[in-house]
């Protein structure tokens, strides 16, 4: 995978770059065998980046499905991906979860803390994305989302008390180099490589992730108190 554009440059150039998006979508399908889905895109309106869905209050401008039956439109075919992005080169690149991977979504600060602990524990990581709204998403084996809450409970944390969101069947994540409004681009914190083709199980990562999210929650309560 090629490096994506950095945060500073992405913030200066909110419009999507069609060639990058098409190439990325094709590589995800061809090299990783991930299902890919073209989503909405950004339109420049009065000097601002507005979502193609025309909702001025869109919570994820340029980075969500464009139609309600999106799950049926996702494809694992590189040929089909090339055809779909050929029709709308600026479409965001979305990856449905619950198929070839699930995702554990945490605040960026907790994600970096967890990454440091995982490195010390010598854990094998899968790909990890870093979104411009300061979230990190750790890719794990399918089925991880369904058991994440129970795993968190077994570690002594309340699933509703920490900011750990499990994304599985019927959900999706935005993939690099998708841009979200004028905030910047989704990037890889941990790139997809041949070494991490085999994803970890959620059980392998849940302890450092829950610990980091717990510390984040405790710090937030302390600030409020």
Name the helix (H) or strand (E) containing 19. helix 18-31
- Per residue in 103-135, pLDDT (tens digit) is 999 999 999 999 999 999 999 899 999 999 999
190's tokens: 């941990």
Question: pTM value?
Answer: 0.89
* Predicted pLDDT of residue 4: 35
Instruction: Name residues whose C-beta falls within 8 Å of residue 25's C-beta, 6 or more positions apart in sequence.
Output: 36, 38, 81, 82, 84, 85, 93
What's the rounded Cα separation, in Å, for the pair 67 and 37? 11
The answer to whether 164 and 213 have CB atoms below 8 angstroms apart is: yes
Distance (Å) of CA 97 to CA 36, 138, 178, 225: 10, 12, 16, 37
pLDDT at 99 over 60: yes
Percentage of the chain exceeding pLDDT 90? 81
- Per residue in 164-188, pLDDT (tens digit) is 999 999 999 999 999 999 899 999 9
Q: If DSSP codes are grouped into helix, strand and coil, which group holds residue 200? A: coil
């Amino acid at each position: 995978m090629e490096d994506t554009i950095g945060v500073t440059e992405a913030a200066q150039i909110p419009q999507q770059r069609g060639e990058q998006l098409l190439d990325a979508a094709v590589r995800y399908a061809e090299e990783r065998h991930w299902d890919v889905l073209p989503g909405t895109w950004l339109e420049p309106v009065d000097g601002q980046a507005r979502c193609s869905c025309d909702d001025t209050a869109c919570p994820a401008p340029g980075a969500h499905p464009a139609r309600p039956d999106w799950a049926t439109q996702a494809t694992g075919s590189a040929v089909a991906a090339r055809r779909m992005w050929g029709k709308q080169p600026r479409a965001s690149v979305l990856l449905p979860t619950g198929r070839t991977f699930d995702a554990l979504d945490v605040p960026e600060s907790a994600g970096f803390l967890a990454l440091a602990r995982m490195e010390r524990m010598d854990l094998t990581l899968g790909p990890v994305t870093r979104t411009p709204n300061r979230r990190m998403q750790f890719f794990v084996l399918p089925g991880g989302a369904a058991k994440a809450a129970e795993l968190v409970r077994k570690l002594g944390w309340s699933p509703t008390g920490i900011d750990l969101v499990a994304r599985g069947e019927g959900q999706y994540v935005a993939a690099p180099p998708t841009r979200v409004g004028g905030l910047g681009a989704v990037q890889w914190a941990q790139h997809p490589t041949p070494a991490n083709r085999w994803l970890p199980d959620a059980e392998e990562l849940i302890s450092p992730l829950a610990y980091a999210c717990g510390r984040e929650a405790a710090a937030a309560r302390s600030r409020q108190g």
